[in-house]
Structure 1
């Protein structure tokens, strides 16, 4: 169940990143509300996942998977450039996540 909680936390964290970009410095109330609510939900589900995962591993997985997801969504839907250096960085992050998972923490 902790992996499901972590996946939900990642989805909400990706939502935070998208929403904060649209919140216009918290001037847009709708996107500000989405940012804050998504952030609270992300934190809640991360805390549930951390009941079983080591804190360092869980937090690293949460931030890194969300970062890769945000970068991919930016390239696919928001016209942001995905160059070779970003792609290599994403591969390295994914490799690190796999290494953490294989460390046997959960």
Structure 2
């Protein structure tokens, strides 16, 4: 169940990043509300996941997978560039997350 909680937290963290970009420094009320609500929901599910995960490991997995998701969505839908250096960084993050999992993180 902790993996489901972590996955939900990742989805909402990605939503926070996208909404915060559209909130225009919290001038756009609609996107500001989406940012804050998404952040609250994501934090709730992260806290549920951290009941089982070691805090450092759970947080590292959460931020890493969220960062990858944000980077890929930025490239796919928002015209942001994804070059070979970013691809190597993403691969390194994936290797790190797999390493954390293999270490018996949960």
Q: TM-score, normalised by structure 2?
A: 0.99
Separation (CA, whole Å) in 2 of partners of 1:62 and 1:105: 13
State the partner residue of 1:60.
Answer: 60
Say if 2:35 is the partner of 1:38.
Answer: no
Could you list the runs of 4 or more consecutive aligned residues of structure 1 that deviate by over 6 angstroms after TM superposition? Answer: none
Aligned length: 106
Deviation of the 1:75 alpha carbon: 0.3
Deviation of the 1:81 alpha carbon: 0.3
Deviations 1:36-67 (A, max 9, x none): 00000110000000000000000000000000
Q: Which runs of 5+ in 2 are unaligned?
A: none
State the partner residue of 2:85.
Answer: 85
Deviation of the 1:105 alpha carbon: 1.9
Q: Which runs of 5+ in 1 are unaligned?
A: none
State the partner residue of 2:104.
Answer: 104
Separation (CA, whole Å) in 2 of partners of 1:105 and 1:9: 17
Separation (CA, whole Å) in 2 of partners of 1:11 and 1:101: 19
